[in-house]
Each structure stands twice: as C-alpha cells, then as structure tokens.
Amino acid sequence: MARRGIFGGSFDPPHMGHLIIAQAMVNSLELDILTWVPAKTPPHKDSANLTSAEHRYRMTELAISGNPTFAISDVEMDSNQPPWTKYLLRRFKQDFPDDELFLIIGGDSLAEFHTWRDYRELWQLAKIAVARRQGEDLSGVDREILDNVKIVDTPLIEISATGIRRMIAEGKSIRYLVPETVRIYIEQHELYIDANSVK
Ligand code: ATP
C-alpha cells in the first residue's frame, strides 16, 4: 500500500512552480510516489490556444526526469472519456485499489472546485491537498468544500504558465522559471513565440 499523489494539469509548459509545489507535497504528505497527469483537453481551459498534447507530455517528462518519486501517466492522453477529474480518480482507484490517493491542486483550482463535475465524489475517492497560490481568492469557497480539503503549508511561488508564455512572446528569457531541459525543448520547437499562445 502506497501513499500516491496525483497532479493533473495542462502543463503548458510545466514550470518550477509545479515542481516546487509537487516536491513540497511529497515531503509534507509523505508520499511514496506522485504521478503527474498531463491533460489532453483540460476541462477548465480554452483549448483553442493550447500547445499540442504531445509537446506538453514530453515537456512534463523532461521536467520530472531524475526524481525517483515523480512519475508520469498518459491515461488522459488517449482517453475518449470527458477529461473530468472524477474519471481520473476512479481510474487510479481501480488501478491501485490498495493505495491511499491524494489529489494535488493549486489554490486557484480550489476557487473553482464547485464547478468541477460531481466534486463531492472527489473527496470520497482521494484526499484533496491544496497548495496556496499568489492571487487566488478563496473568500467565496463553500464551507463544505473547505471542510473536505487539506490546505498544505507549501511555499508561495509566483510562477504561472501564462506568465511564461507571455514572456516568450515578448522575447524575454525564461531561464530559471522552467527546468533547463524544458527551456531548451521550448526553444528547439519554437513554442509560444506567437503572441496568440498568451491567453
Ligand atoms: P496557466 O497559467 O496556463 O493557467 P498554470 O501555471 O496554472 O497554467 P496548470 O498546468 O494549469 O498551470 O496547473 C496545474 C495545477 O498546478 C493546477 O492545480 C494549478 O492550480 C497548480 N499550480 C500551477 N502553478 C502553481 C503555483 N505557482 N503555485 C501553486 N499551484 C500551482
């Protein structure tokens, strides 16, 4: 029986904020493994400007490589099901019936948690662990939701994928905001240079 974290996202691109939060969650929740799950079509994002799922998956692989506690899953890549978190958690529950599951989300995701499909089912399938995030507004979050999630004391990291895409479109360097391997991948594939990728 393992303590297994699940970290879903669009990872467009994966950045140091994701990595620092993910490692802090591993440390704080004493996770044995944390699986990153790049979404093919994230349910809460406008997918029109999203970088291809293949690029995002490969960048996520590069970002986590070398950390034996991190793993990546392609379950969302070839899924024909709607990309709802309840399906993701049901799938993990089925694949790892003996494990204790922890869903990792950022504070901005918590603020919209009530819009997630059948969200009450989620805390029955996994413990929901939240990393606070700069600029989030949790004042409107229902008491019931707050009672069913755990806000974990993680560092506040003011990095977002949107900010990174904007910097690239403006011709600025993103050194140290993403792992060097990811920076080189972005450069080689000329990702995000079009201002339309900033949304
Ligand atoms: P975008 O700027 O495109 O919205 P993002 O930086 O929020 O992207 P996602 O891939 O959407 O990145 O994030 C996946 C998960 O990680 C979400 O639950 C999000 O809240 C969380 N997250 C991302 N960046 C941070 C951060 N700096 N601190 C805390 N949580 C974060």
Distance 9 CA to ligand 1 centre (A): 7
Name the burial class of residue 17, with classes exposed (0-12), middle (13-18) and buried (19+) by CB atoms within 10 angstroms of its CB: buried
Give the model confidence (pLDDT) of 107-163 as tens digits: 999 999 999 999 999 999 999 999 999 888 899 999 999 999 999 999 999 999 999
CA distance 161 to 108: 13
Name the burial class of residue 65, with classes exposed (0-12), middle (13-18) and buried (19+) by CB atoms within 10 angstroms of its CB: exposed
- Is it the case that residue 80 has pLDDT exceeding 90? no
Average pLDDT over residues 164-172: 97
Ligand 1 near 63 CB (within 6 A): no
Contact between residue 16 and residue 145 where contact means Cβ atoms under 8 Å apart: no
pTM of the model: 0.94
Q: The tokens 């969650």 sit on which residue?
A: 25
Average pLDDT over residues 33-60: 84
Ligand 1 near 38 CB (within 6 A): no
CA distance 77 to 60: 13
Residue to mutate (ligand 1; options 51, 108, 119, 192; most atoms within 8 A of CB): 108
